[in-house]
């Protein structure tokens, strides 16, 4: 099963939205136990089906009856964290979990993450994928047998291999995280110019590039960005990375400032049958 930690305000927003049909039939005096029970059961089934990481409904069904996608929630309807324009100038915006950025929620979320890691350790699980919100616990507990994978290397590899041939310039905006940093550095080393929207990020990246030629690939810039939805039967690289890590039996962590070999994880993902979705290239 797949899940994420949502801020309390988001839970309240979901509650308000899901309550609209029940409130409507109550106000119009058309409510019944069957209506309430049926609606709650449907929402619960859709929520579980959407997080089971398995497509129960064939793609052909949605092709025959397209409106079905508006009333069913499936595993592949996941928001893509970053998207780019397929042109010679490419723009990125990398997002963060909103709840984790709120100071008073961070300690509680960290507690849940640590509990999940310890539970996985106790059950003998070999690989645990937790995304980017697991930066410090593994460092404080070097004796853990479970390997924590945030998927950063595969995310970088996917983006690098998705950029159209002939691209000469990529522009980043927004706050930088681990993935954005390694992606920008990899692009510079591949001879692609990289625009950075914030001066402090620009200086930080420039200090990490050894050669003058690579440093000259960086420049300060401003641009726009947008998000896309992942299409059906498409999984995020963050999740695929954990699967590949387990299939390959790699006995290393990828979290905090650590990042796995980008080319190695890319080749392994292809070898296990994962391919790029051409609609993003």
Annotated domain spans of the chain:
8-70, 80-281
pLDDT at 89: 46
pLDDT at 116: 78
User: pTM of the entire structure?
Assistant: 0.54
pLDDT at 14: 86
pLDDT at 232: 61
pLDDT at 83: 31
pLDDT at 245: 87
Round to whole Å and give the CA distance between 226 and 82: 8
Radius of gyration of the chain (CA): 21
Question: Bridge-partner residues for 169, per DSSP?
Answer: 89, 193
Torsion from C-alpha of 194, 199, 204, 205, nearest 10 degrees: 0
pLDDT at 22: 92
Round to whole Å and give the CA distance between 170 and 90: 4
- Average pLDDT for consecutive 10-residue bins of the chain (281 residues)? 61 89 93 92 84 73 82 57 35 39 62 79 82 61 80 88 86 79 89 86 86 85 55 73 87 81 91 76 49
């Amino acid at each position: 099963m797949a899940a994420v930690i949502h801020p309390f305000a988001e839970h309240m927003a979901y509650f308000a939205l899901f309550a609209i049909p029940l409130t409507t039939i109550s106000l119009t005096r058309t409510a019944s136990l069957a209506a309430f029970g049926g609606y709650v059961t449907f929402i619960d089934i859709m929520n579980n089906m959407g997080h089971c990481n398995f497509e129960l409904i064939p793609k052909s069904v949605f092709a025959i009856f397209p409106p079905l996608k508006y009333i069913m929630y499936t595993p592949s309807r996941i928001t893509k964290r970053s998207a780019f324009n397929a042109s010679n100038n490419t723009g990125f915006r990398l997002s963060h979990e909103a709840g984790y950025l709120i100071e008073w929620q961070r300690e509680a979320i960290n507690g849940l993450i640590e509990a999940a890691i310890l539970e996985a350790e106790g059950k003998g699980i070999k690989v645990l994928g937790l995304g980017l919100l697991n930066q410090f616990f593994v460092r404080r507990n070097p004796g853990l047998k479970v390997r924590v994978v945030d998927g950063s290397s595969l995310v970088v590899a996917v983006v690098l291999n998705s950029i159209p041939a002939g691209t000469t310039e990529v522009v980043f905006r927004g706050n930088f995280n681990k993935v954005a940093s390694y992606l920008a550095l990899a692009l510079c080393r591949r001879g692609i110019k990289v625009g950075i929207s914030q001066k402090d990020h620009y200086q930080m990246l420039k200090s990490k590039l050894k050669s003058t030629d690579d440093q000259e690939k960086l420049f300060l810039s401003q641009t726009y960005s947008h998000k896309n939805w992942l299409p059906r039967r498409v999984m995020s690289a963050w999740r695929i990375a954990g699967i590949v890590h387990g299939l390959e039996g790699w006995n290393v962590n990828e979290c905090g400032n650590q990042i796995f070999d980008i080319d190695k994880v890319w080749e392994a993902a292809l070898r296990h049958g994962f391919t790029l979705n051409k609609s993003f290239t």
